[in-house]
Amino acid sequence: MTLQAVLAPLFVLIALTFALGLWAFFLRLGALRRREVHARDIALREPNWPPRVAQVSNAFQNQFELPLLFYVLTILAWITKQADFLFVLLAWVFVALRVLHACEHVTSNHLGRRAGLFVAGAIVLAVMWAIFTLRILLA
């Protein structure tokens, strides 16, 4: 696979992370300006933000959890020449699930649907890691 094909899903996930981060920043700034929260109430990362701000901020924070394993795997798969069609296909499935998870997180935030999307993404990523691991160990 080409470098562009392998990195495209990673770039989409990074764009999602930046979009959520900017959104959270502007929501936080707005809450501070409207005096819905005071700096002393959140200076040490206390959970005192208004619910909507916390919702988007949590979606942003979530992008630094499971996706970290995806970033590492993508780099390793490219370096070791294991990034084939199956890898790219599974990468797009993982990224699509992450986008859906983030959308659920910032809209209705239904825990059952959100958890289902998270688990599905985790399973896809675990399969990707299992395939990669087996290919490396059995090479």
Domain boundaries of the chain, sorted by first residue: 3-137
Question: Which secondary structure element, helix H or strand E, spans residue 89, and what is its range?
Answer: helix 85-106
Over residues 29-49, the pLDDT tens digits come to: 999 999 999 888 888 777 889
| CB within 8 Å of 95: residues ≥ 6 apart | 9, 10, 12, 13, 70
Q: How many CB atoms lie within 10 A of CB 85?
A: 9
Q: With a threshold of 0.85, does the pTM exceed it? A: yes
Query: DSSP label at 80?
Result: T
Choose the CATH number for 3-137 among 3.40.30.10, 1.20.120.550, 1.20.950.20, 3.20.20.10. Answer: 1.20.120.550
Over residues 40-76, the pLDDT tens digits come to: 888 877 788 999 999 999 999 999 999 999 999 999 9
Query: How far is 15 from 52, CA to CA, in rounded Å?
Result: 21
**One-letter amino acid for residue 134 of the chain:** L
- Sign of the Cα pseudo-torsion (95, 99, 104, 106, in order): positive
